[in-house]
Amino acid sequence: MDISNVRALVTGGASGMGRTFVEQLRAAGAQVHTCDVSEDALKDVAEATGCSFTVCDVSDEDAVARLFAEAEAAMGHVDVLVNNAGILRDGLLLKKDRETGELKALSTDKWRKVLDVNLTGPFLCMRAFAMQAVEKNLDHAVAIQMSSVSRAGNMGQSNYSAAKAALAADTVVWAKELGRYNVRVAAIAPGFIATPMVASMKPEVLAKVVKPVPLGRLGEPEEIWQAVKFIVECDYFNGRVLEVDGGLRI
């Protein structure tokens, strides 16, 4: 696909990697519609890039329907979906207080919220995207799922690892199901990336995160953008997870 002619929808585009994707797509000449839960942050990215936007919680089915309706109204159709929106609610499955011996378990609320946003959200967006692409008989369309190195199983991330592993598996399923309609589906599995969320970590925690990375540093959002660009432009990349993690293995 010629990235300058792309009409892209980026979820979670108001900050972090999502904002980088919006900025780089716009710089390449693409039309972009984005969404996030913060209207103020969306207004800021829209002012900076000229993209259109919708305030949307991707785990809400009605909100996703509105998102795609507004994206189509703004751009005519969507031929690139970047399923980037996600949250963290980390915690050990079970933790014992060293002083009191009290046991504390990962809450059901934390489990469900992460699965709702990080797995159900991409499913809802993917379903809407596929419906629109097939109904409009698009010649080319591609959806990019944002998985994670944590899909292999990262301590303290039962919920997040489960969602990202399932998303990687669904990438294969959807690629098999939608190829007949000229819809490609791929995924990216970033390692630890220098986003505001990661930068807010305590220095000693951040040092532990970086230590096992063979390259000895965090990745940059622009390096994940290069993976997005490759997938959009390479029409034969399909049904695979592209790992961009500095060689990290969990």
Looking at the DSSP assignment, which residues form a beta bridge with residue 10? 34, 82
Looking at the DSSP assignment, which residues form a beta bridge with residue 187? 145, 241
Does the active-site annotation cover 236? no
3-state SS, residue 35: strand
Rg (CA), the chain: 18
Sequence-separated (6 or more) residues with CB below 8 Å from residue 223: 193, 244
Active-site residue among 160, 174, 192, 225? 160
Report the alpha-carbon distance of residue 110 to residue 120 in Å, rounded. Answer: 14
Q: Is the Cβ–Cβ distance between 209 and 201 less than 8 Å?
A: yes
Report the alpha-carbon distance of residue 220 to residue 226 in Å, rounded. Answer: 10
- The first and second tokens of residue 16, run together, are 């972090």
94-96 and 103-105 strand pairing:
antiparallel
Report the alpha-carbon distance of residue 70 to residue 64 in Å, rounded. Answer: 10
Token pair 């305030």: residue: 55
Beta strands in the chain (DSSP E): 7-11, 31-36, 52-55, 80-83, 94-96, 103-105, 141-146, 183-190, 241-244
Which residues are tagged catalytic? 160
